[in-house]
Structure 1
Amino acid sequence: MLKYVFPILALVIGLASGGTAAVFLSKSDDGAASEAHGASPTDQTVAKGTAEDAQQETGSLEIVKLPSQFVVPVIIDTRVRAMVILTVALEVEAGRGDLVRSLEPKLRDEFISELFGLAALDGFNDEIITRQTLELVKRALSQRSKDVLGVQNVNVLITDMARQDTF
């Protein structure tokens, strides 16, 4: 009989403690964040206002995330030694997002050919992704996106870049 009571008792105690923690944490989320950082609600309103002002000064920009990642093999001595995986988004003027989405296949083709070219020129041979590598990739992809879109105000955002070595 005891072997049935103990698991049920442990389950009830676990559920009760989890529910209690959820209640306490959900009630304190709004006030705790501002109290912990010493920010009053008016400070948060001012911060939101400055962010909106900054966006208006730079003009309206739209960020279009390309839906799937780019996977680039790093080949050394005729063997795949690593894979570089990138997630890319484009920052364009407001209203140009539809243009980016309509030309996405062409952009992906240009980007992947540029990335394979960089890999062939030993652009990804470093053991870790460096700032120089990141800047090299951003410059190359920005130029390709300007060529494809015919727009000069394009900024490439690399939202994720990782290297996975193979063994």
Structure 2
Amino acid sequence: MNPQHTPDPYPRSGRHPEAPLGVPGLLIPEGLSGGLGHDAVGTTPAHGRRIMECLPRIGCVFADEHRWWWVVPAGSQIGVAWPSSTRYAAGAALAGRRGPAPAGRRGPAPAGRVRLIHRPAHDSPYTPPIPLYFLTCRLAGITPQWSPAAVG
């Protein structure tokens, strides 16, 4: 099966089955193909800047006053233990956050709001989760751990 032609199991208007009810999720910008569903990995802004400098391919990145949120394919927590310095949001549902800040706004997002800080030049909204995982582990000073039974 070709994932580029597979329908999105969690379309823009839908909700990831593991996402908390009533919690808004990050919306993939129009024009990007999010056919794999999407989750988000939150890092500190300091780690976010380092990651942005190191990864060769970066998808959509959102930010609020406390975290940078990296869009990854749905299920990127399966089999890995994300570092405790990160936050994993199934369905990209960010508890305690409101929807995106108004389009075109510059500077920090208003309290409780997220804003898109990086839109990829390519048509995929995803940051590859494996390089992101290894880099977050390195920045956290821990050894990457994975197994079929581990859930991050």
Q: Same fold (TM over 0.5)?
A: no
Structure that is richer in helix per residue: 1
Q: Which has the higher contact order (CA 8 A, sep 6+)?
A: 2
After TM superposition, the score normalised by the length of structure 1 is: 0.20
User: Who wins on radius of gyration, i.e. which is larger?
Assistant: 1
